[in-house]
């Protein structure tokens, strides 16, 4: 239901964006007698560019702008060039097209330049800078470690004799939920072995999802590289959990005619080696990007209407803000939901990797050997 609502809102926002942006462009084309300065001012607003800047990685945290004042935090730039070696400096040195130490920023990418300030195509630059995605992941990981160690210390000190308090009281039901609704149903008697990994994945994704909703922060889980690494790690865990029974069913499915097996074997291999990791990677990425795009589109509508008429811009502002706040609350729910889905699918795929072991069954949660 929520997925259908999100898709519908995305369609509405995109349609309005295209309709009104096209109207503004058409009006500008017709009014040929406008001053050149006015045309340049109108051309400065590019919704597509601003949306991409919001969801893409960057070398700074940008919170807001008021006139010529920009509230932002430039991050360290660390680049390697074979001719110059390693260079470390603040990204503030490259703002507004400035050149520093033989480098400049070209659409957010650090490139080497020659003495005339032109891009040096022959110089190979390796960028290992601390971008906002990297910094935010470090902060999220630090928050996760500090939070969990603090809760663990409380358990060590008080045990189960003292009622949970503070963050312990908030986190304990979530841990119990993941154990009872994700671990046990999908992993059976082996759930305890995988709970540390499942809980780490769940809380790491959840923290990054929630932090990404703060204006000015990075949409880390909406970065395909981030979700790809998580999917690869889960894939490694899944592969390490497989057994001979699993691979026997993959390479020679039982109870099938030979001609069906010839077709089914490559399909099963493709499912294990590609489709399952891709489903983990793309599902999280697509859902988190879609939410941020919807929010940004509703905000952009204020400026699109404002470009047509200041009165229209101010008049539509309450509607745009109301929809934005509504989507923000939906995104909080989606933050929990996507962390739950990724963790559940990981547990499901792990459970499938050792399901049906020969001579081993489970009855009412107890292991039975035959």
Confidence of residue 357 (pLDDT cuts 50, 70, 90): low
* pLDDT higher than threshold 50 for residue 248: yes
- Provide the 3-class DSSP secondary structure of residue 352: helix
Please tell me whether residues 103 and 140 are part of one structural domain: no
pTM of the model: 0.78
- The mean per-residue pLDDT over the stretch 236-257 comes to 85
In contact, 150 and 158? CB cutoff 8 Å: no
Please tell me whether residues 174 and 123 are part of one structural domain: no
Partner residues linked to 90 by β-bridges: 76
Measured in whole angstroms, how far is the alpha carbon of residue 325 from the centre of its chain?
A: 20
pLDDT of residue 16: 42
Please tell me whether residues 209 and 351 are part of one structural domain: yes
* pLDDT higher than threshold 60 for residue 32: no
Please tell me whether residues 137 and 118 are part of one structural domain: no
Please tell me whether residues 287 and 138 are part of one structural domain: yes
> What are the C-alpha distances in Å from 224 to residues 57, 137, 219, 280?
11, 14, 11, 11
* Listed range (124-133, 237-246, 252-261, 276-285) with the worst mean pLDDT: 252-261
Query: CB 201: neighbour CB atoms within 10 A?
Result: 21
Specify the DSSP class assigned to residue 263. Answer: H
Flag whether 1 is in a domain.
no
- Helix (H), strand (E) at residue 273: none
Residues in the chain: 370
Please tell me whether residues 214 and 195 are part of one structural domain: yes
Q: How far apart are CA 260 and CA 253, in angstroms?
A: 9
Q: How far apart are CA 215 and CA 235, in angstroms?
A: 33
In contact, 143 and 236? CB cutoff 8 Å: no
Flag whether 41 is in a domain.
no
pLDDT of residue 356: 58
Flag whether 27 is in a domain.
no
Q: Which tens digit of pLDDT belongs to each residue from 57-78?
A: 888 888 877 777 778 888 898 9
> What are the C-alpha distances in Å from 150 to residues 115, 117, 145, 226?
54, 52, 8, 27
Mean pLDDT of the chain: 80
Measured in whole angstroms, how far is the alpha carbon of residue 210 from the centre of its chain?
A: 11
Flag whether 193 is in a domain.
yes
Q: Which tens digit of pLDDT belongs to each residue from 36-48?
A: 444 444 445 666 7
Domains held by the chain: number: 2
User: Last residue of a domain, which of 87, 110, 127?
Assistant: 127
Q: How far apart are CA 193 and CA 174, in angstroms?
A: 18
CB-side exposure of 38: number of CA atoms within 13 Å? 10
Q: Tokens at residue 184, please?
A: 């046990």
Flag whether 39 is in a domain.
no
In contact, 353 and 244? CB cutoff 8 Å: no
Q: Which domain holds residue 97?
A: 71-127
- Provide the 3-class DSSP secondary structure of residue 65: strand
Please tell me whether residues 283 and 231 are part of one structural domain: yes
- Helix (H), strand (E) at residue 362: strand 360-363
Of residues 72 and 32, which shows the higher confidence score? 72
Flag whether 8 is in a domain.
no
Measured in whole angstroms, how far is the alpha carbon of residue 232 from the centre of its chain?
A: 15
Q: Which tens digit of pLDDT belongs to each residue from 304-341?
A: 888 788 888 888 888 888 888 888 889 999 999 999 99
Please tell me whether residues 170 and 259 are part of one structural domain: yes
Confidence of residue 370 (pLDDT cuts 50, 70, 90): very low
Please tell me whether residues 235 and 312 are part of one structural domain: yes
pLDDT of residue 121: 80
In contact, 141 and 204? CB cutoff 8 Å: yes
């Amino acid at each position: 239901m929520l997925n259908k609502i999100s898709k519908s809102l995305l369609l509405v926002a995109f349609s309005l964006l295209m309709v009104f942006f096209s109207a503004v462009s058409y009006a500008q084309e017709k009014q040929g007698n406008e001053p050149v300065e006015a045309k340049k001012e109108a051309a400065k607003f590019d919704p597509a560019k601003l949306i991409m800047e919001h969801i893409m990685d960057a070398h700074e945290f940008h919170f807001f702008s008021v006139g010529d004042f920009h509230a932002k935090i430039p991050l360290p730039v660390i680049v390697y060039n074979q001719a110059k070696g390693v260079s470390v400096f603040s990204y503030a040195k490259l703002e507004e097209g400035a050149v520093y130490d033989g480098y400049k920023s070209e659409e957010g990418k650090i490139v080497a330049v020659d003495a005339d300030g032109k891009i040096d195509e022959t110089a190979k630059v390796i960028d290992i800078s601390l971008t906002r995605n990297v910094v935010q992941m470090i902060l999220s990981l630090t928050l996760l470690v500090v939070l969990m160690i603090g809760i663990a210390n409380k358990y060590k000190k008080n045990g189960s004799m003292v009622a949970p308090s503070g963050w312990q009281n908030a986190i304990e039901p979530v841990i119990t939920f993941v154990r009872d609704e994700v671990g046990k149903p999908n992993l059976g008697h082996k759930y305890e072995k995988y709970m540390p990994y499942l809980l780490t994945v769940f809380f790491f994704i959840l923290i990054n999802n929630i932090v990404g909703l703060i204006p000015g922060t990075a949409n880390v889980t909406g970065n395909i590289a981030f979700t790809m690494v998580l999917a690869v790690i889960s894939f490694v865990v899944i592969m390490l959990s497989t057994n001979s029974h699993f691979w026997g069913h993959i390479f020679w499915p039982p109870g099938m005619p030979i001609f069906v097996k010839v077709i089914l074997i490559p399909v099963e291999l493709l499912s294990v080696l590609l489709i399952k990791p891709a489903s983990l990677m793309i599902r999280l990425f697509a859902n988190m990007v879609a939410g941020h795009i919807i929010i940004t589109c509703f905000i952009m509508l204020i400026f699109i209407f404002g470009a047509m008429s200041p009165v229209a811009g101010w008049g539509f502002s309450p509607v745009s803000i109301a929809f934005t706040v509504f989507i923000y609350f939906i995104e909080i729910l989606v933050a929990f939901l996507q962390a739950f889905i990724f963790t559940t699918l990981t547990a499901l795929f792990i459970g499938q990797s050792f399901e049906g072991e020969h001579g081993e069954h489970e009855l009412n949660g107890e292991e039975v050997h035959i």
